[in-house]
Amino acid sequence: MADSLTITLAQVNPTVGDIAGNVSLIKAARAEAAKGGADLVVFPELTVSGYPPEDLVYRPSFLDAVAAAVEALAALTGDGGPGLLVGAPWREKGDTYNAVLLLDGGKISASRFKHHLPNYGVFDEFRVFAAGPAPGPMVFRGVRLGVMICEDMWFDDVAETLAESGAELLIVPNGSPFELDKPDVRITHAVARVTETRLPLIYLNTIGGQDDLAFDGGGFVLNSDRSLAVQMPWWRSEIRLTTWRRNNGSGWVCAAQAPAAPGDRLENVYQAMVVALRDYVTKNRFPGVVLGLSGGIDSALAAAVAADALGPDKVHCVMMPSPYTSDDSLEDAAAVAKLLGVGLDTIDIAPAMKAYAAMLAPAFAGTEPGITEENIQSRARGVTLMALSNKFGKMVLSTGNKSEMSTGYATLYGDMCGGYAVLKDVYKTTVFAISRWRNAHKPAGALGPKGPVMPERVITKPPTAELRANQKDEDSLPPYDVLDGILKGLIEGEMGITAVAARGFDEALVRRVYKMLKTAEYKRRQAPPGVKITQIAFGRDYRYPITNGFLDEL
């Protein structure tokens, strides 16, 4: 019976569908772990396939490739080096499971299947996987390992079954997407499982961006007394060696290490945007991004995120003035570009506005200029950015925020153009707060400059789309601090009109915002993806019908 164990935790960044690339990550982590004398290397949920694989799981050729990769990794362990605990979609007896496979001694020595399949929010695992039975321990070199896959830790039955069947150590591989306050929820569930079973627990999460999800890492180890032995960093890959000893009477104990420092809420939001954008651009092989830089706060923050994610040399900004663009906006856009070190071109859209006015004059005869003409400006800018993208290959980055997406205060095929919307799940009030935070902090791993990334005036001036003379956002919307409070109640709180009004908001205003939220659903269906930040993000989390006659009074 072993009295010591060295377990390496591989907090890695796989790519969905890139099986060969993911196998290379696994091999590299194993080679590094072997140098430290590791017995076992643990990887996050579904590392072989990437997470979430979605409907790739339906393709037999995909599952064949995964199986071949796992068999090859298993053969690798025949060299007497570290064993591997890897996640993969796995077929058995006609069903496909979200599985963890123990590879050791040149073979697949054990497999366990996810018991609780999440089917809420961003998760659709019931759609593609079968639920596995309550698992028993895996035996690895004389040690009984209790493996719970992600959601299995959120319930007490799996841990209880493992403890009652002799598990000595709990291991939880995860593909847990970031959202605000999620790290606290994870640790709460982990502490509950340790308290119930009196067993130590390893929690390992994946890292990186996958479409509209960001994975923040932050793996940790709790000893059986609930003390934190290991805290891995957030927002970056790391291979971490942990050492374990069997103590008579108290089971396995992990040697304590200095913990990584957690980031605050604003830093986590910013890092989520950076990591998600970086992986979206690089994993899809775009050479960089192009975006409209208006002199306003949304585009300034989006440009800062892009510079930090990709490096200033891969960010191209375009100022597209109209007759309504102020000198302040021209100056502020130039100042933002200079502070960030990004390229900035100026392309005047006035000729396009004149051409559209002349072209549409016969059809518009007898009507007054209004929102239609404002939208033409926005669409002229969208056409300009898409033309630059088509010509030079850089992806258009949309700069709209969640307050605008919620209320429809955005132009379809105009400022909503783009391949990715970096602020899509960030309310306007949070945009202000994060902009101030970034001016005072450069986050770890950022490729952009130190110091301020936008002039103070960009943050303090009244927001405006500048589509007509003297326009302000508050001409069309409530003040953002009021608007965002109402929206959070309607969206994240899933509350009705009366309940939101009871929080102290004017009921007529709540009804107006509710109507805007409901009416704009058709626009959101056509919006580009953007990283999930809040508990309920537009997209996978928020699936309301466009044609919808229900009025939520309560």
Q: Where are the beta strands (DSSP E) in 415-511?
A: 420-421
β-bridge partners, 254 = 244
Matching residue, tokens 């919006």: 527
The DSSP-derived string for 288-309 is: -EEEE--SSHHHHHHHHHHHHH
Structure confidence at residue 299 (pLDDT): 97
pLDDT tens, 353-409?
999 999 999 999 999 999 999 999 999 999 999 999 999 999 999 999 999 999 999
Residue 183 has pLDDT above 70, yes or no: yes
Structure confidence at residue 106 (pLDDT): 97
* Helix (H), strand (E) at residue 345: strand 343-346
Structure confidence at residue 439 (pLDDT): 98
Calpha distance 181→70 (Å, rounded): 35
pLDDT band at 510 (very low <50, low <70, confident <90, very high): very high
For strands 107-113 and 213-216, give the pairing.
unpaired
Structure confidence at residue 458 (pLDDT): 97
Structure confidence at residue 402 (pLDDT): 97
What is the average pLDDT score of the chain? 96
pLDDT band at 250 (very low <50, low <70, confident <90, very high): confident
Give residues with Cβ within 8 angstroms of 90, minimum separation 6.
Answer: 66, 67, 70, 96, 97, 99, 101, 111, 113
pLDDT band at 1 (very low <50, low <70, confident <90, very high): low
Structural domains present in the chain: 4-258 (3.60.110.10), 266-524 (3.40.50.620)
pLDDT band at 474 (very low <50, low <70, confident <90, very high): confident
Neighbouring CB atoms inside 10 A of 494's CB total: 12
Calpha distance 200→191 (Å, rounded): 10
Calpha distance 170→459 (Å, rounded): 48
Calpha distance 105→326 (Å, rounded): 70
Mean pLDDT for 236-251 is 91
Mean pLDDT for 113-136 is 92
Neighbouring CB atoms inside 10 A of 417's CB total: 24
pLDDT tens, 276-285?
999 999 999 9
Mean pLDDT for 426-444 is 97
Matching residue, tokens 């949920």: 45
Structure confidence at residue 127 (pLDDT): 92
DSSP code, position 342: -
pLDDT band at 490 (very low <50, low <70, confident <90, very high): very high
Residue 109 has pLDDT above 70, yes or no: yes
Buried b (16+ CB within 10 A) or exposed e, 67-89: bebbeebbebbeeebbbbbbbbb
Where in the sequence numbering do the catalytic residues fall? Answer: 45, 114, 150
Structure confidence at residue 269 (pLDDT): 97
472 neighbors 479 (Cβ within 8 angstroms): no
Mean pLDDT for 97-123 is 95
Please name which of 220, 194, 190, 192 lies closest in space to residue 205, comparing C-alpha atoms: 220
DSSP code, position 484: H
**Could you give phi then psi for residue 99, rounded to 5 degrees?**
-120, 155
User: 442 exposed, middle or buried (CB, 10 Å; 0-12, 13-18, 19+)?
Assistant: middle
Give residues with Cβ within 8 angstroms of 49, minimum separation 6.
Answer: 14, 16, 17, 19, 22, 56, 57, 62, 66, 87, 88, 89
**Could you give phi then psi for residue 538, rounded to 5 degrees?**
-65, 135
Structure confidence at residue 2 (pLDDT): 78
Mean pLDDT for 450-457 is 97
Mean pLDDT for 311-340 is 97
Token reading at 244: 């374990």
3-state class (DSSP) for residue 92:
strand
What is the model's pTM? 0.95
Calpha distance 276→354 (Å, rounded): 39
Structure confidence at residue 168 (pLDDT): 96
pLDDT tens, 11-60?
999 999 999 999 999 999 999 999 999 999 999 999 999 999 999 999 99
Mean pLDDT for 301-309 is 98
Residue 470 has pLDDT above 90, yes or no: no
Residue 204 has pLDDT above 90, yes or no: yes
